[in-house]
Structure 1
Amino acid sequence: MDLVSGFEHAAGHDVPGAYAGIVLDHFKVGDLAAYLSGRPEFAYRSQNGVIALLGCDCGEVGCWPLEAQVITTEHSVIWRGFSQIYRRERDYGDFGPFVFERSQYERAVREVVATTPAT
């Protein structure tokens, strides 16, 4: 959240950094591992191939989501194409991409899934 907040402040966006983590009790993603891996059938807005990485600071994802594409290659997972659906004019072209080693990303996802109560 700090990275996007800093970016939005520096860019002069209105309502910068008004995000919080995703509350899984309110946002049913289904298979969390598949969602975080960006599998199209589990994407938040599958028609656009994106997931919500952050939700609104009120706890509702649909209120103020920060979205991104998740691209998986043989060796990496990439978050790119960030957008704020309620401020289409915002340019996030200089934010990211964020590249993760695939094995580390998948391990982190497994750890999150293992520690997240089923909803």
Structure 2
Amino acid sequence: MTSNEIRFDCRHRGDGGALVIVPRIDGAPLTELIDGFEIAAGMQPAGDAYGGLIPQFFRFGPMQDHFLGRSTNAMGPKTPVLGCECGEWGCWPLMARITATADLVIWDSFEQPHRKTRDYVAFGPFQFDRHQYDDALRALNAAIGSDET
């Protein structure tokens, strides 16, 4: 299985608003990937439902831990990788199981907890090289850190 590439986009909501983090897989924002999947699967509602995570709105703990599946306030065994487009992650989150080993980080078992009947088996899994993943997390941490000064 070939590795996917991950980056974490950081941008501000609106004019100087809160910092929003959107994972980008193989160059495509995860928000677009999941919208396309849900629309193609005929799910309702679908499209423009998801947004990035906003660390200052919810204390996930360090983003490096969060995106390794060790979030301080995650719900159960899965980790929110996207939130609602409204900015409140719990409103409409995309959850994933994040498994980290010495060589790989895998995102799979995606779930929309407010729609338990939805089937995400065909979405993912995404498999990342651990070194590339750690580099992306370091870049994310630097972007967040420079934002707080």
Q: TM-score, normalised by structure 1?
A: 0.91
Q: Contact (CA 8 Å) 1:43, 1:50: kept in 2 or not?
A: no
Q: Contact (CA 8 Å) 1:43, 1:49: kept in 2 or not?
A: no
The one-letter code sitting in structure 2 at the alignment partner of 1:82 is F
Tell me, what secondary structure is at the counterpart of 1:79?
strand
Which residue of structure 1 lines up, in the alignment, with residue 43 of structure 2? 13
The one-letter code sitting in structure 2 at the alignment partner of 1:60 is E
Q: C-alpha displacement at 1:43, in angstroms?
A: 5.8
Greater strand share, 1 or 2? 2
Q: Which runs of 5+ in 1 are unaligned?
A: none
Q: Which runs of 5+ in 2 are unaligned?
A: 1-30
Which residue of structure 2 lines up, in the alignment, with residue 32 of structure 1? 63
% of aligned pairs identical? Answer: 42
Aligned-partner Cα distance in 2 for 1:43–1:102: 23
Return the match for 1:52 from 71, 80, 84.
Answer: 80
The one-letter code sitting in structure 2 at the alignment partner of 1:56 is C
Q: Over residues 30-70 of structure 1, what are the superposed CA-to-partner deviations in whole Å (9 max), with x where a residue is unaligned?
A: 1211111112x63611xx31110110011100100000010
Tell me, what secondary structure is at the counterpart of 2:142?
helix
The one-letter code sitting in structure 2 at the alignment partner of 1:3 is L
Count of paired positions: 115
CA pair 43-28 structure 1, distance change in 2 beyond 3 A: closer
Which residue of structure 1 lines up, in the alignment, with residue 20 of structure 2? none
Return the match for 1:93 from 121, 125, 140.
Answer: 121
Return the match for 2:54 from 9, 14, 23.
Answer: 23
